[in-house]
Amino acid sequence: MTTSNDNTLPLIEEYYEEQIIQCMKCGMCQSTCPVYYEDSLETGCARGKLALSEALLHGKLEPNHKIEMIFNKCLLCHACAQACPVGLSPDKVFAAARAEMVKRYDMPWIKSVIYRKLLGQGKLSSLTGAISLANRLKLFSLARSLSIPKMLGKSVERLSFIDLPDIPSKPFMDRFPEVLEPKVKPIGTVGYFVGCAQNSVFQDVAEASVNVLLSLGYRVIIPKGQGCCGFPHYGAGDFETLKQKIAQNSSAFKKHKLDAIIISCATGGSGLKDVYPEITKNDDITTLGAKVYDISEFLAQKHLKDLKKIMPKNTKEKIKVTYHDACHLNRLQGVASQPRDLLNIMPSYEFVEMENSTKCCGEGGGFTVYYQEISTNVANRKRETIKNTGAKIVALGCPGCRAQISGALKQDGLNIDTRHTVCLLWDEIKKANGK
């Protein structure tokens, strides 16, 4: 056992020593942990990783790559926190532990490219054209059928699992102006937080969100200076880039006078609402200048009646739709009833619940690459529960879940669509307007 400064763990200590010590080792976290469910090893559940954190903190073990991989064995789904009798948030301890490991070993080059260049410096959006072209030419499926990804390694293999919609050749923020005026006298001004996934790959979500807000009469501002929310960096333990992202987004949004900030990405939303306050010790109004809402939360809470009025009449047949609760929407933001409220007012759809709708889909950033087999098994369980509902569409509110679930569905040859709730809503509004 060494006592060099190298072995102090300031992040774990600073944020969460009290959490670590409070774990009473009751093991209740095993009951909700999707990872533990798959492999029944103590390394999966929160209790094990909390014990490991404490062992590191008190010098009973020294950090190494094996321990780093154990901390990576977590989907950050927050389900353990829900089962914890003492009310701990173990996932936050593990994010801090990952940050310790990054400080010690830095990141492998591939992770560094993804997190620091593509997401951190906003380079993902500049690749939108290339991704779009590759997707249109069906290069991803071709590569998959030739097993090229397997040869290139796990990160690339992962990419071929997910399934992408049609992608415009320019990023969303290049296609839309900074300020959008509604047709009527504005009832208020909201800022829209785009997020990496909606800016490049899932642009349909950003478009639908902005359009629904406009049709309700909001002036929508899409601040030009905004960037990645930083949640991926939080999850990967890159707290330095995370702090840069907070500063960048804070200055971008504070330039405008906003009544609310709307985001349609579950992960980004929990980043703004949950991670930012954790790091800055300030609330969202102080950090970003306005209260942050998930799009479905904002629409259902403030405009359910207004939306009802602009729904289509005379819909002939109803399409069965089910809803998947993204962990970062349901557990981290408490948004669960709102998307269902929205689905229930849409005349073209019949809403049916799936079993275990709140169970994680197995998408967990780096987890998906490191623990591909577990990730796929978790996704396949989700696929079965979706299949059992007989629904033709899975509504959800998270780009990560959408990629993961659509991938699992396509791999099984199922013709079930994955859509963001707000996209279905915008379709209904368009339908009502005869478009």
Partner 1 sequence: MIDKNIITELENIVGKSNVLTDPSDLMLYSYDATQFYRVPDLVVVVHNSDEISKIVKLTRKNNVNLYPRGSGTNLSGGSIPADGGIVMELNRLNKILDIDVQNRIAVLEPGVVAATLDAEVSKKGLFYPPDPGSIAVATIGGCVAEGAGGLRALKYGTTKDYIIGLEVVLPNGDILQTGSLSTLKGSPGFDLTHLFVGSEGTLGIITKIAVKLIYPAKARKTFLVMYDSVGLAGTAVAKIIENKIIPSTMEFLDKITINAVEDFKKIGLPRDIEALLLIEIDGETEDVEVSAKILEDVCMKVGARSISVAKNDAQRLDLMEARRSALPVLARLKPTTILEDATVPRSKVPEMLEKIHDIQGKYDLMIGSFGHAGDGNLHPTILVDRRNKEEMKKVDMAIKEIFDYCIDLGGTLTGEHGIGIVKAPFMEKEFKKEGLSLFRDIKKALDPDNKLNPNKVVGAKEVHLDYI
The answer to the question of residue 132 lying near partner 1 (CB under 8 A) is no
The answer to the question of residue 281 lying near partner 1 (CB under 8 A) is no
The binder of partner 1 chosen from 26, 146, 184, 414 (CB under 8 A): 26
CB of 44 to partner 1, least distance (A): 10
| 3 state DSSP class of 410 | helix
Bridge partner list, 260: 190
Backbone angles phi, psi at 166, to 5 degrees: -65, 135
The binder of partner 1 chosen from 12, 35, 70, 394 (CB under 8 A): 70
The binder of partner 1 chosen from 67, 79, 295, 398 (CB under 8 A): 67
Among positive and negative, which fits the CA dihedral 363, 367, 372, 378?
negative
The answer to the question of residue 25 lying near partner 1 (CB under 8 A) is yes
The answer to the question of residue 30 lying near partner 1 (CB under 8 A) is yes
Q: Rank residues 82 and 248 by Cβ distance to partner 1 and give the closer one.
A: 82
The answer to the question of residue 31 lying near partner 1 (CB under 8 A) is yes
Q: Rank residues 27 and 168 by Cβ distance to partner 1 and give the closer one.
A: 27
Q: Interacting stretch for partner 1, rule CB under 8 A, among 7-15, 84-92, 274-282, 407-415?
A: 84-92
Q: Rank residues 36 and 293 by Cβ distance to partner 1 and give the closer one.
A: 36
Q: Rank residues 35 and 326 by Cβ distance to partner 1 and give the closer one.
A: 35
Element (DSSP H or E) covering residue 389: helix 372-389
Bridge partner list, 168: none
Separation CA 34–CA 356 (nearest Å):
11
The answer to the question of residue 52 lying near partner 1 (CB under 8 A) is yes
Separation CA 233–CA 114 (nearest Å):
10
Number of CB atoms found within 10 A of residue 139's CB: 14
Q: Rank residues 70 and 114 by Cβ distance to partner 1 and give the closer one.
A: 70
Element (DSSP H or E) covering residue 419: strand 417-420
Separation CA 425–CA 204 (nearest Å):
12
The answer to the question of residue 28 lying near partner 1 (CB under 8 A) is yes
Alpha-carbon distances of 430 from 20, 167, 177, 208, 425, rounded to whole Å: 51, 21, 21, 10, 9
Element (DSSP H or E) covering residue 220: strand 218-221
The answer to the question of residue 279 lying near partner 1 (CB under 8 A) is no
The binder of partner 1 chosen from 2, 3, 14, 66 (CB under 8 A): 66
The binder of partner 1 chosen from 8, 10, 64, 318 (CB under 8 A): 64
The answer to the question of residue 110 lying near partner 1 (CB under 8 A) is no
The answer to the question of residue 345 lying near partner 1 (CB under 8 A) is no
Separation CA 381–CA 419 (nearest Å):
19
Interface with partner 1: number of residues (CB under 8 A): 29
Q: Minimal CA–CA distance to 238: which of 121, 100, 113, 117? A: 100
The answer to the question of residue 183 lying near partner 1 (CB under 8 A) is no
Bridge partner list, 319: 349
Alpha-carbon distances of 347 from 309, 313, 315, 430, rounded to whole Å: 11, 7, 6, 13
Separation CA 15–CA 272 (nearest Å):
18
Q: Interacting stretch for partner 1, rule CB under 8 A, among 14-22, 127-135, 158-166, 333-341?
A: 14-22
Q: Minimal CA–CA distance to 299: which of 192, 396, 209? A: 209
CB of 389 to partner 1, least distance (A): 19
The answer to the question of residue 80 lying near partner 1 (CB under 8 A) is no
Q: Interacting stretch for partner 1, rule CB under 8 A, among 20-28, 142-150, 365-373, 376-384?
A: 20-28
Interacting residue ranges for partner 1, rule: CB under 8 A: 18, 21-22, 24-28, 30-31, 40-43, 48, 51-52, 54-55, 60-61, 64, 66-67, 70, 83, 85-87
